[in-house]
Amino acid sequence: MKELLHSLAPEDLETLVTDRGQPAFRARQLLDWLYRHPVLSWEAMANIPGVLRAGLAEACDLRALKQVERQVSGDGTRKFLFGLRDGHTIESVIIPMADHVTFCLSTQVGCRMACRFCATARGGLVRGLVPGEIIQQVLLLRQDLDREPLPGSDGHPNIVFMGMGEPLDNFPALESAIGIMLDARCLGFSRRRIRISTSGPGDGLRRLLASDLAVGLTLSLGGSDDAERKAVMPVPGRTPVTEVLDLAERYGKRSGRKGTIAWVLIEGRTDHLNQARRLADLLRHRPFKVNLIPLNPLDDDDQTAPGPERTLAFQRVLTDAGIGAFIRASGGQDITAACGQLRRRRSRPA
């Protein structure tokens, strides 16, 4: 596949242009067509000379994503299935909040983390997305909001990397995409609006810590000790729980952002009160809050979410220990909202 124009940092775009004997200001004009008034066709770039357009089109692709499906939930959640140039598909979601919208983005086609509760994990990893494929999710979601606005959708969206894939397992592409999001010449987002969600593979967390990224971090834990965690999250579970928490804590201190722990509640598996107590012990004196996420059931197994009483009892153990714990209802229950389910349904014979 050709390089995507949206994968390039402004400096690389400038090199691309000047290598073709064109003045550097053409790169600035290109940036306008890529980010300020985004177009996804070469013909629409009115002020770019035809010879440059042709030269760029030879080296680079402009468009990588095509909408294959769009589902709208009763609660306003919009879920998209996008087709990529090689025929694979990814999901992205627009989640309406009170005064803004959140974009939930994918970073990989499939995933190799093998988490037992996750639909994306089922088929294993196909490939990581390139930066431009991550950026184009933002552009297409924005385009959708231009056509059908939501309250607060005229401002910048919040970005969460909670879609398909493990962001820290595709670190260089993630880092470049976030660079393009933050760059004032490109999307110009504030880093405060961006949050990575990770299952916490140790090597990925170490790379994050060694980088300059200072966006928010949510760590999905899935077990209160090593054996438990590994049973639910086989690949990230290879890194000891205390080490994962240490790394996330150090990152939180460096980035100046308090971290979040995500805990998926699965009936009979991750909802025992002694797990809540161990979790409370692990998190005491550490700067995290906890989001409890009742399982969004998958259609191919019988794991379910615990009832409200058990969920509240789990929460109470944490809050009684002085740890901020919040129950996060999953949006879009009436559409195929569990991450990866839409893609899976589409790729199986009816």
Provide the annotated active-site residues. Answer: 91, 339
Question: What residues from 290 to 349 belong to the interface with ligand SAH (CB under 6 A)?
Answer: 293, 295-296, 298, 330, 338-339
Residue pair 314/292 in contact (Cβ under 8 Å)? The answer is: yes
Assess 118 for contact with ligand SAH (CB under 6 A): yes
Contact set for ligand SAH, span 45-74 (CB under 6 A): none
Smallest distance, Å, CB 44 to ligand SAH? 34
Of 103 and 117, which has the nearer Cβ to ligand SAH? 117
DSSP 134-159: HHHHHHHHHHHHHHS--TTTTSPPEE
Other CB atoms within 10 A of residue 242 CB? 11
3-state DSSP: the chain helix, strand, coil percent, rounded to 5? 40, 20, 40
| Alpha-helix runs per DSSP H in 124-267 | 131-147, 171-182, 202-210, 226-232, 241-255
Find where tokens 């709208």 sit: 72
Query: Minimum distance between the CB of residue 339 and ligand SAH, rounded to whole angstroms?
Result: 5
Query: Which of residues 101 and 162 has its CB atom nearest to ligand SAH in the complex?
Result: 162
- Name which of 22 and 255 has its Cβ closer to ligand SAH: 255
Minimum CB–partner distance for residue 290 and ligand SAH (Å): 11
Instruction: Record the tokens describing residue 47, joined without a space.
Output: 């002020």
For ligand SAH, the closer CB: 208 or 262:
262
Residue 26 is given by DSSP the state: H
Q: From the CB of 299, what's the least distance to ligand SAH, in Å?
A: 11
- 162 belongs to the binding site for ligand SAH (CB under 6 A): yes
Q: Is 270 in the site for ligand SAH (CB under 6 A)?
A: no
Q: Where are the beta strands (DSSP E) in the chain?
A: 3-4, 60-61, 66-72, 78-83, 89-96, 101-104, 108-110, 125-128, 158-161, 194-198, 216-220, 259-265, 288-294, 325-327
Helix H or strand E encompassing 315:
helix 308-320
Stretch that binds ligand SAH, among 6-14, 30-38, 237-245, 289-297 (CB under 6 A): 289-297
Q: Check binding of 92 to ligand SAH (CB under 6 A).
A: no
Within residues 185-204, the interface with ligand SAH by CB under 6 A covers 197-199
CA dist., res. 193 & res. 72, Å (int): 24
Q: Which is nearer to ligand SAH, 31 or 162 (CB)?
A: 162
Q: Which is nearer to ligand SAH, 45 or 118 (CB)?
A: 118
Rg of the chain over Cα atoms, rounded to whole angstroms, equals: 21
Give the shortest CB-328-to-ligand SAH separation in angstroms: 9
Query: Residue 326 Cβ, how far from ligand SAH at the closest point, in Å?
Result: 13
**Which residue, chain included where needed, has tokens 């064109």?**
22
Chosen residue from 73, 102, 170, 220 binding ligand SAH by CB under 6 A: 220
Nearest to ligand SAH of 118, 241 (CB atom): 118
For residue 273, give the H/E element and its range: helix 273-283
Does residue 166 interact with ligand SAH by CB under 6 A? yes
Is residue 215 involved in binding ligand SAH (CB under 6 A)? no
Q: Does 262 bind ligand SAH (CB under 6 A)?
A: yes
- Establish if 16 lies at the interface with ligand SAH (CB under 6 A): no
How far apart (Å, rounded) are the C-alpha atoms in residues 262 and 289?
9
Q: Report whether 157 contacts 193 (CB < 8 A).
A: yes
Residue 117 sits in the site that holds ligand SAH (CB under 6 A): yes
Which residues would be at the binding site for ligand SAH (CB under 6 A)? Answer: 117-118, 162, 166, 197-199, 220, 262, 264, 293, 295-296, 298, 330, 338-339
